[in-house]
Structure 1
């Protein structure tokens, strides 16, 4: 029997070997989920009704996203060819990278931010990811970010509000970035837009290198259905559509999305719950003496320091999940808590008070 030598074994592309992996800590989440920035309550009741109305025959069909894309485009004040529905924003990021990055190109992000940017960029250009680190304030480093753009920059990704900080980047600053890099796609990740309100969606089409990403996982409460979108100049969306699977969004999600969009009253109610709860959480942290980053999203990032792991475990014992963000650049000792409906904010604060006392936390 011949021995298979290393030179004859199957190996992936160099980029796959080099790219980082994302391992979300999803196991054992049968508790109050204040760790992943999900809607903590429910989607619109109309979504539940629609789920019950789906027939067995409906499940046998391949999904058709084009009609729903037209509905979403109208909802956003856009044309159908300016919108692409995706399997969540995770896929949206991947598709933009696949459409516009080649090996050797540069992509620019600020850190700390969403880790999937690293994964998708480095899959396409292993040595091309450029990062601008925020200072101790964790605010978006606009001037240094602008100065980091080079002729090799082909993709720029900015999240506003940002995850994990909740920091925002003004529309004016984003348009300056787009103007400074006409050779690059500017992808503005607005996954947490509904909890802040400022957007660049009105600039889609007039800014030729702008693409906006949105998700229906957060405010709409449809994370398990996996649906998001890209909106941008029709030419850019056409290139992105070309690298997308024709059946990338499942039919159940497509069936439910129009009724979710129709229920604007429910969306407004949930967003207001988060807005009030966020202020209440930040006031509670002030009273406890816990430093935090002022947030425009549905979460708050707080600085616990060396006892960050102890706090996460103490909260878990009380049935509340938090997300330790200490591995993020510049976030050592930081822990993130999701904001949801009033009862969940109350439970989170009560558990936080007891847990900080248990671990003998001091500032």
Structure 2
């Protein structure tokens, strides 16, 4: 008779692919977030009132149907001045990254990123190939353009660059992004513009001159739809045809698809929220200057600061004061760094007040 012990023993012989065994894991610290959430770069308020109105109007019959992505892709494409075949909606940018890697990377191919950056690039690339080349930014955390260009080889098949970058808030010049795409015509280049609304510069108008360029956007940040999980890829229709082939036909849920048109149509709300972030970001950086805390100039809805050896103590103390921060010390070149999200004016005020009190409580003094 088969026993539980025998089954466990047998299952130990069932192993996943080597790449899965060796790929890193991402464990977001989502538990216990019942505080002011200045840790995940989310919208700290709410989506557009028009989204809430559409959400309340979702019917039971709508929930019984499989979601239809294509009609909403046509609406999104028109909004961004693109053709429907140039847009693919995804289950957040996380799925977009996954699909790019699955579509374009073989086991012997190389992928290229600059670090520090969004950790999910690392996770998804290494799921497909061990040949991930990382170009580390210098002490200023600015994008290392010249060294990045020099790292492109004939084996490079996928390049991913975030602008603005997470966790640094640094941007890459548009001309540099286009130069990278031109230098690697044999590779697909994805520009992750998740934080586009807080900076305003995009390569989405450059698809005609950069046929190997694909842009990723999210509706989680400025639009406030993080819980609905919806993002998009935009670019060359021929390239997206292959990406579409690797994805699920029902990857984006129907509630997200119902709400997305309302979200993108409310330009007034987006203008208001992004202005809140712009003003709040300036206030936060000025406040950090007054506190003597070193930080990196940001073009996103967050600021990365250098706390040094007391970074863990600061995060813990802020939590006791009802404010969550994100410790980025394990990111390459970020030892001692902590990130704070920028949102509404009142949230920036609470964040700065808690920060000043917490720094005093942990007896922090600048070390750089």
* 1:58 is the counterpart of 2:42: no
Give the C-alpha shift of residue 270 in structure 1: 0.1
> 1:225-268 CA deviation, whole Å, 9 max, x = no partner?
00000001000110000001000000000000001111000000
Residue in structure 2 matching 1:160, options 156, 159, 163: 163
> 2:15 & 2:271 partners in 1: Cα distance?
50
Unaligned regions of 5+ residues in structure 1, if any?
none
Pairwise mapping of residues 1-363 of structure 1 onto structure 2 (< 5 A)? 9-125=13-129, 127-363=130-366
Give the C-alpha shift of residue 6 in structure 1: 6.9
Give the C-alpha shift of residue 9 in structure 1: 1.8
> 1:283 & 1:128 partners in 2: Cα distance?
42
| Structure 1 contact 171–199 (Cα < 8 Å) conserved | yes
> 1:9-66 CA deviation, whole Å, 9 max, x = no partner?
2110111001000000000000000000000000000000001000001100000000
> 2:64 & 2:11 partners in 1: Cα distance?
45
| Structure 1 contact 65–249 (Cα < 8 Å) conserved | yes
> 1:107 & 1:143 partners in 2: Cα distance?
17
> 2:343 & 2:269 partners in 1: Cα distance?
14
SS at match of 2:60: coil
Corresponding pairs, count? 362
Unaligned regions of 5+ residues in structure 2, if any?
none
The 4+ residue runs of structure 1 with deviation greater than 2 A are: 1-8
Q: Under a length normalisation based on structure 1, what TM-score does the superposition of the two structures give? A: 0.98
SS at match of 1:150: coil
> 2:22 & 2:321 partners in 1: Cα distance?
39
Give the C-alpha shift of residue 7 in structure 1: 9.6
> 1:116 & 1:124 partners in 2: Cα distance?
13
> 2:251 & 2:10 partners in 1: Cα distance?
36
> 2:265 & 2:117 partners in 1: Cα distance?
31
SS at match of 1:57: helix
| Structure 1 contact 106–154 (Cα < 8 Å) conserved | yes
SS at match of 2:238: helix
> 1:314 & 1:296 partners in 2: Cα distance?
27
SS at match of 1:202: coil
Give the C-alpha shift of residue 197 in structure 1: 0.3
| Structure 1 contact 273–340 (Cα < 8 Å) conserved | yes
Give the C-alpha shift of residue 206 in structure 1: 3.1
SS at match of 1:246: coil
> 1:121 & 1:210 partners in 2: Cα distance?
18
